[in-house]
Structure 1
Amino acid sequence: MTNPSPPVDPAPAARGRPRDAALDRALLEATLEVLYEKGYGGLTTSAVAKRAGVSTATLYRRWKSKDDLVVGTAVRWAHDLGPGKDTGSLHGDLTALLTDKARTLDGPGGRLLHVLIGESAHNPALARVLDDAVVQPVRDRAAALLERAVARGEIPLAQNPRVLADLVVGAMVSRVFLTPPPEPAGPGREAGPPPPAGEAMISELRPFLLRALGVSPR
């Protein structure tokens, strides 16, 4: 799967030379690469600047500190799930949500999340960013799909979208980041390439969630 470069928000209007969006993108991509290779503790602004081919002064004109740079990278790489489309059924809407989240976790945004989860436990600013950028879009999608399911008469009204979102995020993060890959096939058994961990989780998580919502899986 190919992943587009992260969008870069336009800089606010200011006097003087406007910011170079391509340079911003290069610094954000360099931050992601260094984080993935060395972790949060091993990341330095000088290493990021060197990877991007710029001076540290250029970096500091855009982000005032290491934390500021990492937070900016998290915001830009996080995948905005959006409101989602009405597929006509709870089964279809839930499948679309799980598929979109799996793609996020299997891509650069997921790798970034993997690196930053531990750091966010004692970095409140980063924790808030990750909650807003990673978890809140799932909460919004969960609330919308449950409202549609109620309107169709598929489920009763007393459903908590926050719990559904927590189940989606928690289960998929656990499978993608904490579960070891399956053992290789034994002698005489063909072993094709395993599906991405996030995608593999969909077929297991979807029927469980449907049953929890009071709907029989197909």
Structure 2
Amino acid sequence: MPTEPTDPVTPRRTRLTPEREGELYTAVLDILREVGYDALTMDAVAARTHASKATLYRQWRGKPELVASALRHQKPVRTSDVDTGSARGDLRALMCAADDAQMEKDAALMRGLSRAAHNNPDLLRALREMLIEPELAELDAVLRRAVDRGEIAADNPALDYVGHMMVGAFVARHLVEDRHPDSAYLSRYVDAVIIPALGL
């Protein structure tokens, strides 16, 4: 499948204010929801945000990196900021951070992106490098704290699969029940699936 050309040179990051960067990311996600990944173009982002394409390519190598950065930016809570003092509290804070309306929008967006990533290796690479791997590293730090507190056994085999379980909670409900995950469902999921698996 043809993809939009990307700058072969490593982009030079220019200084954008956090507010301006947030505006760009919001526009990217809005366009994604409107037309999907394949139809999203850097031209459309530039027009929507009154930015130049040159600025976009200096900040991000291309569309995959811009989309992955926008997704990471819009997360309602940073995994690294979560520290409630208990593993259960941390997991519930991570899973139920967004309100139900936002979770429904995000779930639909991620379903579309997962289909796009299947056909676009550049998008899959960007999502892994810029979103999935950093999030898993931060989740690992959350779980290590629980191990250090003595809540979870260091050799518990489920520790390697917490990320999989968390993603599964969002994906499976729509497939199995044709319903979007909401905070009540995710809270029950944490208590019924993840907490027992970790031996808590």
TM-score, reference length from structure 1: 0.64
- Percent identity between matched residues is 27
1:129 aligns with 2:126: yes
Distance of 1:122 and 1:46 partners within structure 2: 22
Whether contact under 8 Å (1:121, 1:127) holds in the other structure is: yes
Partner of residue 210 from structure 1, selected from 162, 176, 195: 195
Question: Hey, which of these two has a bigger chunk of helix by percent?
Answer: 2
1:192 is aligned to none
| 2:41 corresponds to 1:44 | yes
Q: CA deviation at 1:137?
A: 4.2
Number of aligned residue pairs: 183
Uncovered stretches (5+) of structure 2, i.e. residues with no partner: 1-11
Provide Cα deviations, 1:106-134, integer angstroms capped at 9, x if missing partner. 28765643432111113222112222344
SS at match of 2:66: helix
Alignment RMSD? 3.7
By how many angstroms is 1:92 displaced? 1.6
Q: Which runs of 5+ in 1 are unaligned?
A: 1-10, 182-195
Q: CA deviation at 1:197?
A: 2.8
Compared CA separation, residues 199 and 62, structure 1 to 2 (3 A): same
Match runs of 1:45-84 below 5 Å: 45-53=42-50, 58-63=52-57, 68-78=62-72, 79=75, 81-84=78-81
**1:70 Cα deviation after fit:** 4.1
For residues 83 and 24 of structure 1, the distance between their equivalents in structure 2, rounded to whole angstroms, comes to: 21
Aligned to 2:3: none
**The structure with more radius of gyration:** 1
CA distance in 2, matches of 1:122, 1:86: 37
Q: Report the secondary structure of 1:42's partner residue.
A: coil
